Structure 1
Amino acid sequence: MTSTSKAKQTWLQRIVAWVRQLLVFLFLALIITTTVDWWRAKDIARTNLPPITATSIQGQHIDVNALSFQQPVLVYFWGTWCPVCSFVSPAVNVMADNYAVVSVAMASGEDAKLNAYLQHHGYEFATINDSQNQIARQWSVQLTPTVMVIKEGEIKHFTSGFTSLPGMWWRMLVSS
């Protein structure tokens, strides 16, 4: 075996070892995040959900339950004050281009302030201002961001904390 072929074999072995480590890491991350989501969602009812019927700050009448019987709905609980939400909100905005998205802004101030925030960031998703956290309390949401997929009046998927765009796409596709 020549030194060039040994170098190629060593390089290939390193790549294979790195890919194995990455796959093990991704598998462990999936298990951990699934377990954490399960634990956080243990107090949230999956059926007989409280209604989210309101007028968004954009002037749209929203009835999440009725909409969920037409198509899956991504419900996004967030706040303008939430640092993690600043990473998740752009992905939610992308999702709103293709799916039904309803956001509930928790304790984020008056409508004018919230609307200015949305415009400044270019967010176009429907937003209900939950300035007193009444909707969040009814839904037992205590952590932001929280993302739920609701279909036919039931929560099909739930996660809180950072969520990626591929994670949201997957949850919506599986629910369709």
Structure 2
Amino acid sequence: MKAQTLLLSPTATPLLRLPGPTKRREVQVFSSWPLTDRIRQHWRVNWKSHLGTVVLAAVVLISVQTWQTRDVPGGPAPDFVLTLVQPDGTSTQSTLHAWRARHPGQPVALHFWADWCPICRTEENSISRLTTDWPVLTVAMQSGPAVDVARVMRQRQLPWNTTVDERGTVMHRYGFKGVPAFVVIDAHGRLRTPSMGYTTEIGMRLRLWWASLTSLLDSQGMAVAG
């Protein structure tokens, strides 16, 4: 039998499939490589199949989100009366339009949640961090009157701007079928990038950043046109 060369370099792609005992030696050499080298080798050989999996997962996720938010209206965000909850359990009346006026030129976010929703609990820290950088109005859906909502917020130490949606009418007006839900209102008052179900913090931030960027581009385009 002719002698066959075994590739020992961990960065080289084996070109020969050696028969018999020699093939076993090739597998043993590959398994002895450091973990990072094995991962790199695996991705080098199988990157096309992994890319296809990622693309398929992204398509499925976008399709699901599109279907879940199919009833969210396009265009201007519907205005509604706010029952803003105070830390002591009292409440004040306002409107979404008036609340947005406190943040001129900025996109704002609406976060729909409920005290009995387990997925909403997993988003609480993300929302709390988000409120330090962006205007966020949370909507407590079917979570009781203002006193109950204020108590939950004190217990969970949630420093949020919150309005009470005791019967879920605001949520349904915005076209959402469940909680949690998240939607951005851009600087021109238009609804952007709605999502329902768990949303990552980076996903929320990217939605607000994108709304800020597109609003700025729209404003510059209108200025040039004028």
Determine if the TM-score, normalized by the shorter chain, exceeds 0.5.
yes
Between the two structures, name the one with larger relative contact order (CA 8 Å, sep ≥ 6).
1
Q: What does 1:32-111 align with in structure 2 at a 5 Å threshold?
A: 32-58=60-86, 63-65=95-97, 67=100, 70-111=105-146
1:131-165 CA-partner distances (Å, limit 9, x unpaired): 11121222222211110001122111100001001
Q: Which runs of 5+ in 1 are unaligned?
A: none
Q: Provide the rounded CA distance (Å) in 2 between the counterparts of 1:22 and 1:90.
A: 32
Deviates more, 1:66-75 or 1:20-29: 20-29
Distance 1:16 1:92, change over 3 A: farther
Q: Is the 8 A contact 1:64 1:73 kept in 2?
A: no
Q: What does 1:6-17 align with in structure 2 at a 5 Å threshold?
A: 7=30, 8=33, 11=38, 12-16=40-44
1:157 aligns with 2:193: yes
* Equivalent AA in structure 1 for residue 183 of structure 2: M
Q: Provide the rounded CA distance (Å) in 2 between the counterparts of 1:22 and 1:119.
A: 45
Root-mean-square deviation over aligned CA pairs: 2.6
Q: Is the 8 A contact 2:76 2:191 kept in 1?
A: no
Distance 1:171 1:19, change over 3 A: farther
Q: Provide the rounded CA distance (Å) in 1 between the counterparts of 2:124 and 2:82.
A: 21
* Equivalent AA in structure 2 for residue 83 of structure 1: P
Q: Which runs of 5+ in 2 are unaligned?
A: 1-5, 11-28, 213-226
Distance 1:80 1:16, change over 3 A: farther
Select the structure that is richer in strand. 1
TM-score by length of 1: 0.85
* Equivalent AA in structure 2 for residue 64 of structure 1: L
Q: How far has the Cα of 1:42 moved from its partner?
A: 1.8
1:169 aligns with 2:169: no
Q: Is the 8 A contact 1:149 1:156 kept in 2?
A: yes
Q: How far has the Cα of 1:2 moved from its partner?
A: 6.0
Q: Provide the rounded CA distance (Å) in 1 between the counterparts of 2:199 and 2:127.
A: 10
Q: Provide the rounded CA distance (Å) in 1 between the counterparts of 2:47 and 2:95.
A: 46
Q: Is the 8 A contact 1:69 1:153 kept in 2?
A: no
Q: How far has the Cα of 1:25 moved from its partner?
A: 4.0
1:28-70 CA-partner distances (Å, limit 9, x unpaired): 3322221112112222211243213313102566543451753
* Equivalent AA in structure 1 for residue 96 of structure 2: V
Q: Is the 8 A contact 1:79 1:144 kept in 2?
A: yes
Q: Provide the rounded CA distance (Å) in 2 between the counterparts of 1:164 and 1:106.
A: 20
Q: 3-state SS of the aligned residue for 1:30?
A: helix
Q: Is the 8 A contact 1:105 1:129 kept in 2?
A: yes
Greater CA radius of gyration, 1 or 2? Answer: 2
TM-score by length of 2: 0.68
* Equivalent AA in structure 2 for residue 115 of structure 1: A
Q: Is the 8 A contact 2:71 2:176 kept in 1?
A: no
